[in-house]
Structures are given as C-alpha cells and as structure tokens.
Amino acid sequence: MANGLLLVGCGKMGGAMLDGWLARGTDPRTVVIVEPAEAAQTALKAKGVTVVSAADDVPDGFAPDCVILAVKPQMMADVAPAYARFRSPETQFLSIAAGTTIGFFEGALGGDAAIVRTMPNTPAAVGKGMMVACPNPNVTKAMKVRAGELLAAVGEVAWVEDESQMDAVTAVSGSGPAYVFHMIECLAAAGEAAGLPAALSAKLALQTVYGAGCLARDADEGPAQLRVNVTSPGGTTEAALKVLMAEGGLKPLMEKAVLAARDRGRELGG
C-alpha cells in the first residue's frame, strides 16, 4: 500500500506546502524531500522529515501515495523522468510547475500515470493562495480528494476538467498577484501626486487593498454590491469611479491584460 509524501524541490512554494501539511498534522516521518541544496537540508531535517539530495537516494521501500513535483518549470525535463519508478495504481503525481502540461508528464512518467496539474499563486507562501487543479483520466476520485487536501494546506482549491482553461487560470490567479501589487504601486503614487508624504501614501495604499480584499472575501455581498455600498451619490468615490469605469477605463484594460497573459501562456505551452 502506498504511503507517504515525496516532495521534489523545497523552495518557497514547496516549503510553504510542507509547513502547511505539518501544521495540519501530517506525520513528518511519512515525508521524504528531495532537495539538493545543502544549505536548506539542515533546516528541513529539523522538522523531522527525511531529506535526500537526489531521486536515487530515496530510501528503498518508500512507496509514496503522492509525488509532488515542485521544481522550476525549466528544470522539469531533467528532473521528472527520474520519478517514473514510483508510478503505481496507488500513486499520483502532483505538479505545481506553471505552464507544464499533463502531456509532458505523461511522456516523462508514463501514459498510465495519474497526474494532477496545478496552478498555484504566490500568496500560497502565506497560506492565502489560490490553487487550481486539473486531473488526467487516470486520477481516481480518492486521489482527487487527497490532492485537494494537500493543496488546501496553502489556500483555496478549485478544479477544472478542461486543461485548455489553465492558461486563463494562469492569467487571472497565477499572474494576478502582480496586477494587484502594481495597483498598490499606482495607488501609492497617486496619493503622492495628490500631496501625501510617500511613506504615508504607501501605507494607505497597502492597507486599503489588504482590508478591501479581506472584506470582499468575507462579505455575503459580491464585489459589485460592495462597490455600490461605498459609493455615495455625488461624492468623492463616485467622482473617482467615473474615471475608472469610463470607456477605456479599468475593465477593458484588465481584460486586455488578462488576454495578453492567457495568449502568452498558450505560446509558452507550445
């Protein structure tokens, strides 16, 4: 019976997932990590997990129910094939490498491998990520439940069955944090232009975006109604929204940005 987790790569995303699993009660003795960076190995071993430097060093007899591939996409062609030996009817492969297709993994690991392709985003590093997953036909219902549990350790989880949607997912949630960071930059710069000290304007912009996100996340009402709620007729917010919601304003600009990201994702995916 397959048992345990094999985490391949333990950088920021892999490390965040590991911390989430351990915080949720995963027995560290059931976790093996492949991490070649010696500087990271000591700290990982202190968590009680087994750490090795390469696939060939994984202890004999270790049969993971999930192999999590968390190396950079450009390294995956060199790394993934070494883990084909763990393929079994009870083992699934969970990839968090952006843009790397299920077809690639089927070629590297075998066509009968159970593969879940995921698109994480950087807020997963603080447990607030958005993880979207797509399974191949070899993934069983039980495997999907298991994968969902593992991903939920670092944020919210959603599933798509059509892999072609993953480029749009990447454009919205994968790249999305950068859009929000840029909005914070722009809002802070606008505050400066309006006469505020730089440090104060930066703090106002950051906390406002953070607070508004928390409110939108927890409120019973949707974002459109929340916008209406804070917009007094003839007031300051309405004056600003007339600019942002004008023809050529934020909505068409955001659509253009997301489509550009989606199309670039398709190009990179071949």
Supply the mean pLDDT for the chain: 94
Cβ atoms 121, 127 nearer than 8 A: no
pLDDT confidence of 260, banded at 50, 70, 90?
Answer: very high
The pLDDT of residue 44 is: 94
Could you tell me the pLDDT band of residue 125, with boundaries at 50, 70 and 90? confident
Residues 6+ apart with CB under 8 A from 184: 205, 206, 209
Q: What does CATH list as the number for 175-268?
A: 1.10.3730.10
DSSP label at residue 117: E
Q: What is the pTM of this model?
A: 0.88
209 Rama sector, left if φ>0, alpha if ψ -120 to 50, beta otherwise: alpha
The span from the first CA to the last CA of the chain, in angstroms, equals 37
- Partners of 52 in beta bridges: 34
Q: What is the pLDDT of residue 270?
A: 66
Percentage of residues in the chain with pLDDT exceeding 70? 99
Binding residues are: 70-73
Best CA proximity match to 57, nearest among 37, 35, 74:
35
268, pLDDT greater than 90: no
Taking only the tens place, the pLDDT of each residue in 20-64 is 999 999 999 999 999 998 888 999 999 999 999 999 999 988 989
Break the chain into its structural domains and give their ranges. Answer: 5-173, 175-268
Structure confidence at residue 2 as a pLDDT band (50, 70, 90): low
pLDDT at 98 over 90: no
Q: What is the distance between the alpha carbons of residues 63 and 1, in angstroms, rounded to a whole number? A: 7
Mark the binding-site residues for NADP(+), compressed into ranges. Answer: 70-73
Read off the pLDDT of each residue in 92-107 and give the average, rounded to a whole number: 92
Interatomic CA distance for residues 222 and 224, integer angstroms: 6
Helix (H) or strand (E) holding 155: strand 155-159
Percent of the chain scored above 90 by pLDDT?
A: 87
Q: CATH for 5-173, among 3.30.420.40, 3.40.50.300, 3.30.70.20, 3.40.50.720?
A: 3.40.50.720
